A and B are shown apart, each in its own frame.
Chain A
Amino acid sequence: MPEHRLKPLTPLGHAAPETVTIGPLTITEVVTTALASLASRRGRAADVAAVAAAQGIPLPGPGRVAAGPTYTAFWLGPDQWMVEAPFASHEDIAAILRPAFADAASITEQTDAWARFDLAAADLPALFERLCGFDLRASPTDAATRTVIEHLGCYLVRRTDTALTIYGPRSSAQSLHHTLTTAARSVY
């Protein structure tokens, strides 16, 4: 993709992403992910599945995330997924995916609609029981769901037992970050 002269800002409004450590917890602002929504057109589920398989795009079931070599995807809703890819190689992710799926799927760029915070700690459930009603303790390690955190609709995407991603509305990145750090200081 051609070079341009514009310098990006992170969701928190800085030139470089922010990392904070509170006790055992690290909260990292992540800007290296490209996002696109992938929705199957009516009656084209099979085609979408086939293309996705060929492209190495996993299509997990409801409430789940699945990682592939390049693409990771989590379920958004019936016949709809969010596809993650490295920003460096896939900045224009929608343009990359569209040719492959042609008219079988609706693909929409979502990269900058979301602020991504990765959280890592040995006991994440201890933090999340102060944040939302999602039962992290009992959820599988490939859980991915949307829920409410302090009035904000966010996606929770589990990566491992001790690592998790929160996607929140980009415009509210500061409010969300404030909520996360406040809760962390309260818990740890």
Chain B
Amino acid sequence: MIINHPLLGPRDAQEFVYFGDAALIARPDGLSEGAEATFHDYLYLRDNPAGDHRELWYHEQGDRSWLVVTRNTLTHDITAVELARDVARHMGRGR
């Protein structure tokens, strides 16, 4: 596969390490009420769609950027690649 890195252009996916569903960015607050239940759903349950999937890839043999790749799990077609840091900020994550 080839991942079109937002900064570096097309790169062989072999340079990357796959992690999983980009929903993992939305880590719950560990000090909140009922954290154990929310963490269970957060860490263990997946939509696992047959179709477009937003997922985390790490450019380990490259610039070490974490990317959010939108890839179709039936065809492997990639329709969007973003820097995970930007996505995280859009999801309201900061410090």
A and B touch in the complex (CB under 8 A): yes
Residues of A within 8 A of B (CB): 62-63, 75-78, 133, 145-148, 153
Known: A77-B65, A146-B62, A148-B61. 20 other contacts (CB 8 A): A62-B7, A62-B8, A62-B63, A63-B7, A63-B8, A63-B9, A76-B63, A76-B64, A77-B63, A78-B63, A78-B65, A78-B85, A133-B12, A133-B14, A146-B15, A147-B15, A147-B61, A148-B14, A153-B60, A153-B61
Question: Least Cβ distance of A70 to chain B in Å?
Answer: 25
Q: Which of B44-95 contact A (CB under 8 A)?
A: 60-65, 83, 85
The residue on A at minimum CB distance from B7 is: A62
Q: How far is the CA of A90 from the CA of B63 in the complex (A)?
A: 26
- Residues of chain B at interface, number, CB under 8 A: 14
Q: A62-B8, A133-B12 are in contact. Are A147 and B62 (CB under 8 A)?
A: yes
Contacting A at CB under 8 A, from B1-28, are 7-9, 12, 14-15
Question: From DSSP, what is the main secondary structure of chain B's interface residues?
Answer: loop
Contacts of A77 in B (CB 8 A): 63-65
User: Is B8 in contact with A78, judged by CB distance below 8 angstroms?
Assistant: no
B12 CB to closest chain A CB (Å) equals 5
Q: Are B8 and A145 in contact (CB under 8 A)?
A: yes
Provide the residues of chain A in CB contact with B64, threshold 8 Å. Answer: 76-77
Cα(A57)–Cα(B65), bound, Å: 24
Q: Which residue of A is nearest B64, CB measured?
A: A77
Provide the bound-state CA to CA distance between A76 and B61, in Å: 11
Q: State A133–B3 Cα separation when bound (angstroms).
A: 13
Name which residue of chain A comes closest to B95, CB basis.
Answer: A42
What residues of B have a CB within 8 angstroms of the CB of A148 in the complex?
Answer: 14-15, 61
Q: Which residues of B contact A133 (CB under 8 A)?
A: 12, 14
Chain A positions within 8 Å of B65 at CB level:
77-78
Task: Determine the distance from Cα of A88 to Cα of B15 in the docked complex, in whole angstroms.
Answer: 35
What 4 A-B pairs have minimum CB-CB distances, sorted nearest first?
A: A77-B63, A62-B7, A153-B61, A133-B12
Complex alpha-carbon distance, A147 and B85, angstroms: 22
The residues of B that contact A145 with a CB separation of less than 8 Å are: 8, 62
CA distance A75 to B5 in the complex (A): 15
Q: What CA separation (Å) do A148 and B61 show in the bound complex?
A: 6
Do A78 and B83 touch (CB < 8 A)? yes
Docked pose: A115 CA to B56 CA in angstroms: 31
Q: What would 11 A/B residue contacts be, using CB atoms closer than 8 Å? A: A62-B63, A63-B8, A63-B9, A75-B63, A76-B64, A77-B65, A78-B7, A78-B63, A146-B62, A148-B61, A153-B60
Q: Which of B9, B12, B14, B61 contacts A146 (CB 8 A)?
A: B61
